[in-house]
Amino acid sequence: MSTRTTGVVVTGAAVLLPGADSVRALAQGPAAGGDPVEPATHVGRKGLRYKDRATQLGYALTSAALRDAGLLEGEKDGTLTVAAETVGVVASSNFGNLDTVARALDTIREETVTATSPMDLPNASSNVIASSAAIRYGLRGPNLMVCNGETSGLDAVHWATTMIASGRVDRALVLGVEPDNDVVRKLLGGGHAVDGGAALVLEAAAAAEDRGAAVRARIGAYRRSAGEQGADQGRRWRLPEHSGRASGANGVIQCAAAVGRFDAGDREPAHAVVGGAGDDASAGLVLLAPGAAR
């Protein structure tokens, strides 16, 4: 399946990874040996207790991307500059709540259900990243959690684009995040996950224009299929190996890197590609610089 989507633009982006805390730094790196992301330094300590790492990272990315897009203003958690119903959320993560599931299961097996914490209930639901971002920042549009394997991040961008193009919502935050922890490391056979992620604000071109928002990139063709994606349709960018497995965050991180490159004045289209022959499918998405010819 492929779609040639037009009329959807990127008006905000954010990244939080060890070694990169801006889209421009991401496009250059990220550097090896960076410190772990500390969500409390970005959004304060309030409300982080009982939230899993993925949800905390999601809060920090949501705040940063909405502010970057001019949709959130003011102190603390801020205030939306647009109607709450006009902002949707599409989040992507594969490993998000595996730690909660494993911990609750261990408690049930080793003690009994009575020893589990009721505070774990929301975190046991895999959509907690998407819904928690919406609750904290008051985003009342469609709220979607994509857990679709290696292609998940680009799929999330695709579904945000689809909902905007169909007129279901004017704009959507796209969040890609993967936490690192013992459960994830065991699942990855010893490797580690990125322990961070990226976020984008996608918006109908007309809605962006109405509020005078700067266009940072335009969304081009998306394709998901078995096997590899074929010839490059723009510059490829890859997260360095030392950053770890990006999984469901990968596609969103690649899009954020493209925005970083466009912000620096480069006009060459970007071709984000995730998944491949070893996975159930691959996906590709073309991003165009603002104002560049199609």
Partner 1 sequence: MMSRPIIGMGAVAATGSGVDELFESLCAGRSGRAELRGFDRTRFRAQHAYEVDNRPAEGEDVPRRATNLLVEAIGQAAADAGIGEDLSGIPILIGTGLRELRSMELWWREGSEFTDAGLHFGTGLRERFNADVTHTFSNACSASLYALALASDLLGQEGDDTPDTVIVAGVDVLTESMYGLLERVHPVPPDRVRPFDRNRTGVLMGDGAAAIVLRRSDAGAPRVHGLLRAVAVNCDAYHVTAPSPEGIAQAMRNAYSLAGVKQSDVDLVMLHGTGTLLNDEAEATALADVLGSGADGPLTTAVKSMTGHTSGASGLINLIVGLRALNEGRVPPTVGLDEPVDEAASFRFVTGEAAAGEQLRVAQINAFGFGGINAVAIVEGTR
165 lines the binding site for partner 1 (CB under 8 A): yes
Nearer to partner 1, 150 or 203 (CB): 150
Nearer to partner 1, 24 or 136 (CB): 136
Query: According to CB under 8 A, which residues from 225 to 244 bind partner 1?
Result: 225-226
Query: According to CB under 8 A, which residues from 8 to 67 bind partner 1?
Result: none
Respond yes or no on whether the N-terminal peptide bond of residue 179 is cis (omega within 30° of 0): no
Q: Give CB contacts under 8 A, 24+ apart, made by 225-232.
A: 225/1, 225/2, 225/281, 225/282, 225/283, 226/280, 226/281, 226/282, 227/276, 227/277, 227/281, 227/282, 228/276, 228/277, 228/282, 229/271, 229/273, 229/276, 229/282, 229/283, 229/284, 232/271, 232/273
Nearer to partner 1, 266 or 279 (CB): 279
Torsion of CA 46, 71, 55, 93, to 10 degrees: -170
76 lines the binding site for partner 1 (CB under 8 A): no
Nearer to partner 1, 32 or 105 (CB): 105
Query: According to CB under 8 A, which residues from 108 to 137 bind partner 1?
Result: 108-109, 112-114, 116-118, 120-122, 124-128, 130-132, 134-135, 137
Nearer to partner 1, 25 or 124 (CB): 124
Amino acid at 271: H
CB of 227 to partner 1, least distance (A): 8
Closest CA to 262 of 9, 2, 7, 37: 9
Binding residue (CB under 8 A) for partner 1 from 11, 22, 100, 254:
100
CB of 38 to partner 1, least distance (A): 23
Binding residue (CB under 8 A) for partner 1 from 168, 236, 238, 267:
168
CB of 18 to partner 1, least distance (A): 21
- What 3-state DSSP class applies to 199? strand
3-state helix, strand, coil in the chain (%, to 5): 40, 25, 40
Nearer to partner 1, 142 or 197 (CB): 142
> By rule CB under 8 A, what count of residues binds partner 1?
72
Amino acid at 238: R
Binding residue (CB under 8 A) for partner 1 from 11, 63, 86, 143:
143
Binding residue (CB under 8 A) for partner 1 from 9, 37, 57, 139:
139
146 lines the binding site for partner 1 (CB under 8 A): yes
**Token code pair at residue 126:** 């895999």
Residue 31's Cβ-count burial label (10 Å; 0-12, 13-18, 19+) is middle
Q: Is 39 left (phi over 0), alpha (psi -120 to 50) or beta?
A: alpha
152 lines the binding site for partner 1 (CB under 8 A): yes
172 lines the binding site for partner 1 (CB under 8 A): no
Nearer to partner 1, 41 or 166 (CB): 166
175 lines the binding site for partner 1 (CB under 8 A): no
Which residue is it, tokens 């491949």? 276
